[in-house]
Structure 1
């Protein structure tokens, strides 16, 4: 086992203590006289031992305290050296400040009991006031340094705990900030995808048709649809920019879309999907359109919008049905479209739309399903179904 190297500052203190003690000894300056070992060289032995303990005050505080205690006791049997006593007080202080927690807690109690025991013992022995002076001196060189060390250690531990709490608070704040940024980016991605994908899909399909079919009427009709979707997409992009600038006050954001605009959305999708052989049907069985939370309306609108976009990209010719219903405290949105091969041009998909729809439903605590199904007549269809709780809080905003 390798012993730790003494700290340079402790080595310096031990050296200065030894030098100072030797200086006092050279001038025959002692703390008392007439002791058992009254030879001139006798105080040098406790002095040297105490200087060694001083060098270990930080790296081996418990060992330094034991060695220092033996040295101070031995010093009482010689004429004594003041520097030995002063170094002992520092060894006691260091044992509390740098020692293990359990040992640091015991030292003040132990030195306090020793102070009381010495005072009582000398009172019984001498039966005069000098015993009180001895007790005070004992407390000054043992109990007071230990209490000072305890106060310093408590302050250091409190400072460390405060610094740790500050670091943890900063870490939690950074985690919250990161999560908020990620959530905001995900929200922006959903909005951007839902607002623009429908128009871009129509543009891609009709531009492909215009290039594939060499008929002036078809080309003119395709260009008309392309222009309408370009203008509508540009308007949606401006609305998104307005939303992004809302916090800075640069522009007033437009109102978020609601189910009141669902008829116009379906009508626009019907015009875009007509060349692909799709017939769009809206079935709204809600008795009342009032009382829907804004987040639920927005989520339902975006789910229908994205489902119609996917139908325009992938659905086979046939009927695309959009069904809205209120049941058991939830708004149900269901969109079914024919599944199979489709003639004519198609637009590629990335799967981001399904992810966005699922995220919207999850934020409101609802249920979402998307996948192939078979209708009563045995035809394959693709169905998107979402249940949005009516008591959803305003967590999802445009």
Structure 2
């Protein structure tokens, strides 16, 4: 078994105690100078033992205390060394501070009971008021160090608990910060994708048409659409930059799009999808006098329609694209229905799949329901397949805030 190396402070205490004890012995200063039960040099044995036990005060506090108790009792049968008693009080203190929790809890009570017992026994034995001094000495040697050690240990444990709590709080704060940054980055990614993807897809499709078709009129029409989408894309980018700077106070916030702008959005989709043979229609059956939609719901619905129309322009087969909005029972229903096919008649733009993810995230943040996929309308063959996007959004202000 490997013996733990003593702490350097314990070595200093042991050496200092031994030298002080030898000094008192050399000066013939003893606690029990009149006792001659043992030779005078016998007082050095408990002194040396106790000094050696000081080396174990941190690494083995319980064995050191037990052996120290034997040594201090033996010291009373000699002429007595004050240093031995002082070092024993340090062993008692160290046993409470560095010992196991169970021992640290018991020692103050054990030493307190021992002090009371010693006082009562001394009074009954000597029947003199001066006998109370025996109890006082026992209390000073045993109970006092134990109580002091308990106070120090409790203070250290409280400080350690506070430190761990502070570290935990810092860790939770860092986790909250990371989550907030991640959520903000996801929000920015959705906004950037929804703002720019529509215009860039139209630019890609019409630039391909302008390069592949030799007609001057067709090229002029395509370039006109490219210019319009470029201007609108720049405006959207400026709006996003304005939103980002609004948090720092560098610019005034810019209003977010609402469902009032669906007409212009559908009209833009008609122009962008004309080259692919798409016909885009809007069916808004919401009541005219209905409640005003919360801003997050309006923005989410607008972005879902925008992204769905972008996907239709990029991927849908020629045919009719229908956008339907309805409000019933405090739930806003947004449906986009487009022809589904592997090939479209016009140029196509590549997709990354981030649009569906963004739409699903927007609906989930509002506590709604989202679905997207190919369905059949009852017509045989692939002509009967339609790509349907459906979102159910809570239109109640309280539901959104919750």
Q: Same fold (TM over 0.5)?
A: yes
* Alignment match, 1:371: 373
RMSD, aligned α-carbons: 1.3
CA distance in 1 between partners of 2:74 and 2:166 (Å): 48
CA distance in 2 between partners of 1:395 and 1:211 (Å): 47
* Alignment match, 1:251: 251
* Mapped contact 1:293–1:393 kept (Cα < 8 A): no
* Alignment match, 1:165: 165
The yes-or-no answer on 1:360 pairing with 2:362 is yes
CA distance in 1 between partners of 2:218 and 2:62 (Å): 96
Give the gaps of 5 or more residues in structure 2.
none
Shift of 1:263: 0.8
CA distance in 1 between partners of 2:291 and 2:218 (Å): 42
Give the gaps of 5 or more residues in structure 1.
none
Equivalence map 1:1-398=2 (5 Å): 1-35=1-35, 37-288=37-288, 289-340=290-341, 341-378=343-380, 379-391=384-396
Shift of 1:17: 0.8
CA distance in 1 between partners of 2:126 and 2:119 (Å): 10
* Mapped contact 2:202–2:229 kept (Cα < 8 A): yes
* Mapped contact 1:361–1:388 kept (Cα < 8 A): yes
Q: TM-score, normalised by structure 2?
A: 0.96
Q: TM-score, normalised by structure 1?
A: 0.97
* Mapped contact 2:277–2:346 kept (Cα < 8 A): no
CA distance in 2 between partners of 1:253 and 1:47 (Å): 82
Shift of 1:392: 5.5
* Mapped contact 1:295–1:394 kept (Cα < 8 A): no
Shift of 1:227: 0.2
* Mapped contact 1:364–1:393 kept (Cα < 8 A): no
> 1:38-89: CA deviations, max 9, x gaps?
3111111111111111111011111111011111111111110010011011
How many residue pairs get matched? 396
Q: In 2 relative to 1, CA 212–268 (structure 1 residues): closer, same or farther, beyond 3 Å?
A: same
> 1:321-348: CA deviations, max 9, x gaps?
1111112321110101101111221000
Shift of 1:282: 0.6
